[in-house]
Structure 1
Amino acid sequence: MTVLLSSDADGVRTLTLNRPYRRNAADPELWQALREALAAVTRDRSVRALVLTGAGGAFCSGADLKSGDSRHPLDKVRDLNDVAVLLHELPFPTVAKVTGVAVGAGWNLALGCDLVVATPESRFSQIFTRRGLSPDCGGTWLLPRLVGLQQAKRLTLLAETIDAEEARALGLVTWVVPPEEIDEFVADLGRRLAAGPPVALAQTKALLNEATSSTLYEALASEARAQAANFATTDAQEAYAAFAEKREPHFTGRWYRSPTSEDPHA
């Protein structure tokens, strides 16, 4: 069985964790497949958004502790770290589509996405301390930034299981939608994100990620550099033209160049 499924539609790549018999618990094969898929999608210019989900009614029940992996624990964690960094650095929007459980490293995979869509039946847990472990896959970095230090400590120290509505109230889930509607909801969300200006979206995502550890002055300087890059694309001109013509814009992310007689490529 292929442990990671990949499909493309409307500029959106969907990666599906495919070990439903283990509630998509991630073994070494799945971590490697996910790492390779995220590295590959970074270089694919046809992809404008990513959806990460799980097969069989679960998102991911964490790392598979029964996988028989005999490597040193540091080697195992490096796989998780690679995936967390690649997911964080993707230059386009990412969406976690969560049905069923998202536990441990599986929940942190979801939190590593820019947006999270869940169903009322979804359940979440930073289960690590119940297994005699501490959080990994970026959880200690993500949680305090999303919910504050005190709530992050509550979620990790007690390892409680919370439902989708509580997760949404804490800011850990963006939308909760009925299970019969989540497929179309996420498909529409992916299309909307993929239709956006790719350079501006990449700049916005990077600016927000960097702002968690920057000063106001550093953020302003980064915004200025990003805005210059945005104006260097055709998308800024296209946005103004579409507004004037009362139509939807068509964004490409192409570099804007004003041809001159001295330009051999004009």
Structure 2
Amino acid sequence: MALLDKDGVRLTVDDTVATVTLTNPAKRNAQSPALWRALAEAGRSLPGTVRVVVLRAEGMSFSAGLDRQAFTPEGFEGEPSFIELARGTDELLDSTIAEYQEAFTWWRRNDLITVAAVQGHAIGAGFQLALACDLRVVADDAQFAMRETSLGLVPDLAGTQPLASLVGYARALEICVTGRSVHAEEAERIGLANLVVPAAELDAAVSDLTTALVAPPRAAVIETKALLRDALSRPYDAQRDAERAAQARRLRDLAGLSD
């Protein structure tokens, strides 16, 4: 069932699994503010029954990043150009970037597990969209690159925190500043990719993973994800406290004693 199909984004739902598909292969799924709004709308449109969201893309590339039209004086039709934004107030510039970021933030909700299926190029905003997901299954032809710094910009679509968490500060800095490509084999080795498979097997590998992700009881998965997301930011003893509290909730629920 398709719940959304607009501006290069299609959302379909099959019981507990939703699929968000980038649908502009002719432009290598280049991104725009309209696409970002559609992605944010997709997140708001998910039924409460959904447990896993798969992010995939049509064509040879996952996403070539921000559409270069954004850097022209005219920008996108009906949208303020980047030059116009730069000339606006601090408040307008901040709120506009915050609106763009909404497309990249809902993927880490504790009640969902999100999986990016990445083939071909995932550049800039495309890289950050893959990083927005909890897990990444990668075709062996995948290439990640963070090109913002080479354009005089910074990665600002919520990608810096997950990148540094996955590969460490020094590696993240080197990847961002050099703008070099990280190929599939290296992506798996340094922790960017959970699994690398031949391109022809990408859909099957994602399907197998999705089946495994929906197998455990949902409440236990939600509690586990919440624990792991905060594990590195909490002191050791605080994490132990959180584990005890979560387990107490699970035991009471299993015993039929929860509120």
Read off the aligned partner of 2:59 and give its amino acid letter: G
Q: How does 1:135-214 map to 2 (within 5 A)?
A: 135-214=155-234
- Bigger Cα displacement from structure 2, 145-154 vs 84-93: 84-93
> Share of identical aligned residues, percent?
36
SS in 2 for 1:15: strand
- What's the CA shift string for 1:89-123, capped at 9, x where partnerless? 24121101001111112111111211100111111
Aligned-partner Cα distance in 2 for 1:38–1:99: 22
Q: 1:81-92 residue pairs with structure 2 within 5 A?
A: 81-92=101-112
2:107–2:134 CA contact under 8 A, matched in 1: no
| Structure-2 separation of matches of 1:49 and 1:233 | 22
Deviation at 1:257? Answer: 4.7
Q: What is the distance in 2 between the residues matched to 1:30 and 1:151? A: 30
Hey, what does 2:40 align to over in structure 1? 35
Q: TM-score, normalised by structure 1?
A: 0.83
Distance 1:154 1:24, change over 3 A: same
Whether the 8 Å contact between 1:147 and 1:171 is mirrored in structure 2 is yes
Residue matched to 1:119: 139
Match of 2:119 in 1: 99
Q: Give deviations 1:119-169, integer Å, cap 9, x for gaps.
A: 111111011112221112122211221111110111011010121001111
Give the residue type in structure 2 aligned to 1:149: Y
Computed over aligned residues only, the root mean square deviation of the Cα atoms, in angstroms, reads 2.0
TM-score relative to the length of structure 2:
0.85
Shift in Å, 1:229: 2.2
Inter-CA distance 172–116: structure 2 relative to 1 (3 Å threshold) = same
Match of 2:253 among 233, 245, 257: 233
> Could you list the runs of 5+ residues in structure 2 that have no partner in the other structure?
86-92
Segments of structure 1 that go 5 or more residues without pairing to the other structure are: 238-255, 259-266
Question: Between Structure 1 and Structure 2, whose CA radius of gyration is higher?
Answer: 1
- Structure 1 residues 18 and 232: CA distance shift in structure 2, 3 A: farther
* Distance in 2, Cα, partners of 1:91 & 1:60: 26
Would you say 1:64 and 2:67 are equivalent positions? yes
Q: Give the 3-state SS of the residue equivalent to 2:19 in structure 1.
A: strand
Q: Distance in 2 between matches of 1:52 and 1:90?
A: 17
Q: Give the distance between the partners of 2:137 and 2:175, measured in 1 at CA.
A: 20
Deviations, residues 7-57 of structure 1 (Å, cap 9, x unaligned): 22352111001121221112111101110111232xx22211110111112
Give the counterpart letter for 2:152 in structure 1: G
Tell me: CA distance 1:54–1:143, structure 2 relative to 1, closer, same or farther (3 Å): same
- Displacement of 1:212 in angstroms is 1.9
The number of aligned residues is 237
